[in-house]
Structure 1
Amino acid sequence: MTEHALLSASGAERWINCPPSARLEEAMDEESSEYAREGSFAHSLAESYLAYHLGLIKKGEFDKRHKKLKHDPFYSQELDDYVKVYVDFAIEKINEARARTPDAVVLLEMKLDYSTWVPGGFGTGDLVLVSDDVLEVIDLKFGRGIPVSAEDNPQMSLYGLGALNQFGCLYNINTVRMTIVQPRLDSISTAEVTVDDLLYWATNTVMGAAEKAWNGEGDFRCGEWCRFCRVRATCRARAEENMKLACYDFKKPPLLTDEEIVEVLGAADEYMK
Structure 2
Amino acid sequence: MPPKGHAILSASSSDRWLHCPPSARLCETYEDKGSDYAAEGTDAHELCEYKLKRALGMDASDPTENLTWYNEEMEDCANGYAAYILEMVEAAKESCADPKVLIEQRVDFSRWVEQGFGTADCIIIADGTLRICDYKHGLGVLVDATDNPQMKCYALGALELFDDIYDIDNVSMTIYQPRRQNISTFEISKDELYRWADEVLKPTADLAFAGDGNFLCGEWCGFCKAKHECRARAEANLTLAQYDFKLPPLLEDSEIEYILSRADELVAWASDIKEYALQQAISGKEWAGWKLVEGRSNRKYSNEEAVIQAVTDAGFDPYEKKLLGITAMQKRLGKSRFDELLTAYIEKPQGKPTLVPESDKRPAMNNAKTDFMEEN
Query: Which SS does the other structure have where 1:4 is aligned?
Result: coil
Amino acid of the structure 1 residue aligned with 2:102: L
Return closer, same or farther for 1:249/1:36 CA change in 2, 3 Å cut-off.
farther
The amino acid across from 2:140 in the alignment is: G
1:173 to 156, 168, 173: 168
Q: Structure 2 matches for 1:1-273, cutoff 5 A?
A: 2-57=4-59, 62=60, 65-66=61-62, 68-70=63-65, 72-248=67-243, 250=245
CA distance in 1 between counterparts of 2:210 and 2:115 reads: 12
Structure 1 counterpart SS, 2:229 = coil
State the secondary structure of the residue aligned to 1:100: coil
Distance 2:246 2:200 in 1: 37
**Residues matched between the structures, number:** 247
Partner SS state of residue 138, structure 1: strand
3-state SS of paired residue (1:246)? helix
AA at the equivalent of 1:54: L
3-state secondary structure, aligned to 1:120:
coil
Aligned-partner residue type, residue 19 of structure 1: P
**Structure 2 CA distance for aligned equivalents of residues 131 and 71 of structure 1:** 35
Deviation at 1:252, TM superposition (A): 9.0
Q: 1:71 to 1:115 in 2, by over 3 A?
A: closer
Q: Using the TM superposition, give the Cα deviation of residue 100 of structure 1 relative to its aligned residue in structure 2, in angstroms.
A: 2.3
Q: Deviations over 1:17-49 (max 9, x none)?
A: 110110011111123111111111011001011
CA distance in 1, matches of 2:77, 2:194: 34
Taking the aligned partners of 1:98 and 1:185, their CA distance within structure 2 comes to 29
What TM-score, normalized by structure 2, do the two folds share? Answer: 0.63
> For the residues of structure 1 that align with 2:153 and 2:33, how far apart are their CA atoms?
23
Stretches of structure 2 lacking an aligned partner (at least 5 in a row) = 251-376
The amino acid that maps onto 1:2 is K
Compare the two structures and name the one with the higher strand fraction. Answer: 1
Displacement of 1:69 in angstroms is: 1.1
1:266 matched to which residue of 2? none
Which one has more relative contact order, counting CA pairs under 8 Å at least 6 apart? Answer: 1
Task: Report deviation, 1:166.
Answer: 1.2
Separation in 2 of the partners of 1:200 and 1:38? Answer: 36
**CA–CA distance in 2 between the matches of 1:235 and 1:78?**
37
Aligned counterparts of 1:252 and 1:38: Cα–Cα separation in 2 = 44
Q: CA deviation at 1:4?
A: 2.1
Q: Distance in 2 between matches of 1:177 and 1:142?
A: 20
Partners in 2 of 1:70 and 1:246 — Cα distance? 53
Secondary structure of residue in 1 paired with 2:131: strand
Q: 1:70 to 1:242 in 2, by over 3 A?
A: same
Helix, strand or coil at the partner of 1:126: strand
Name the amino acid aligned to 1:126: D
Which amino acid in the other structure matches residue 14 of structure 1? Answer: R
CA shift, 1:245, in A, is 2.2
Identical positions, percent: 45
